[in-house]
Chain A
Amino acid sequence: DIQLTQSPSFLSASVGDRVTITCRASQDISFYLAWYQHKPGRAPKLLIYAASTLQSGVPSRFSGSGSGTEFTLTISSLQAEDFATYYCQQLNPYLQLTFGGGTEVEIK
């Protein structure tokens, strides 16, 4: 199975900060990567798919980049409502689906 390693697993940031989360795959997954935001007691929310395509309705401060084995989720200016846990997910159609371990973003 493909392993996804997210870093950092936890970060503390202030409103207005630029935040970057990295997701590394154990083998080449091309652009088959999505990013989700998950808040306690809520359903996960799709942010990005195909590594860099912004889901409809998601604010433009979120962006994704990368391909192959290294991917990045960037929040250009962190807002109060962005404090949550973020997960990457590989969806290579020929392989079992996997999630990264998650990155918890906390208010500094």
Chain B
Amino acid sequence: QSALTQPASVSGSPGQSITISCTGTSSDVGSYNLVSWYQQHPGKAPKLMIYEVSKRPSGVSNRFSGSKSGNTASLTISGLQAEDEADYYCCSYAGSVIFGGGTKLTVL
């Protein structure tokens, strides 16, 4: 099973919106709504930001949203803030667990 495909990096200015894509196959992302997103700051453990494609855990800002179309899931961050600068990983939980390669978000 191959890793899900994410762009290596994205960037945006404070206040702007960015979207990170996560492409899998019809056997994982395309078949199940068990797609989640994690934020990881340097030296820290990942933090759950989105689960089941578009649901936010308690305490996660509503600036974070998720969606899916076909075999591609997306994470959108609106109103970018400096503290959003981090690595972001998507994850498909479909029998086995597959992570994306990660996307480094830079807030300019």
User: Does A pair with B?
Assistant: no
Question: Taking beta carbons and an 8 Å cutoff, which residues of A are in contact with B?
Answer: none
Q: Which residues of B contact A (CB under 8 A)?
A: none
